[in-house]
Structure 1
Amino acid sequence: MAAPTKKAFALRLDPALYAAIERMAAAELRSANAEIEVLLREALGRRGVSVKQSDAPKRGRPPKEEN
């Protein structure tokens, strides 16, 4: 079964806004994309919209199978 993918789309931002997002992301050890997701979820939460986290594929090495 294919892993769920994220929706990709172009997002045009003011360069100063993007620079601020990059600084925040670096401080939180996140990518700019992940930081934008966090900011959007926080903004939606303040407006009373809850967005359930999608089931993401697990990362890393799969556990050893015991025989």
Structure 2
Amino acid sequence: MEESARPGGILSTLQMHVFPRFGTVLVSDVTSADVRQVILAVRQAAPEVARKLVFRVSAVFKGRLPKA
């Protein structure tokens, strides 16, 4: 987990960039190709945000998000 990440900041980044792309798809149905597409799309506009998203999305799949 990123040292400086706050739970609210993590969630807001995911809400802004990831959730709209995946819609109502279950986490178990999201593929690595789906995640890659989101990261690459964000990277074009905001490389630093995309770098953070890699860690944040990984935390979702590993079940390691901090409790809000």
Q: Tell me which interval the TM-score lies in, with the shorter structure as reference length.
A: 0.3 to 0.5
Give TM-score, length-normalised by structure 2.
Answer: 0.33
Structure index of larger Rg: 1
**TM-score, structure 1 as length reference:** 0.34
Q: Which has the higher contact order (CA 8 A, sep 6+)?
A: 2
The structure richer in helix per residue is 2
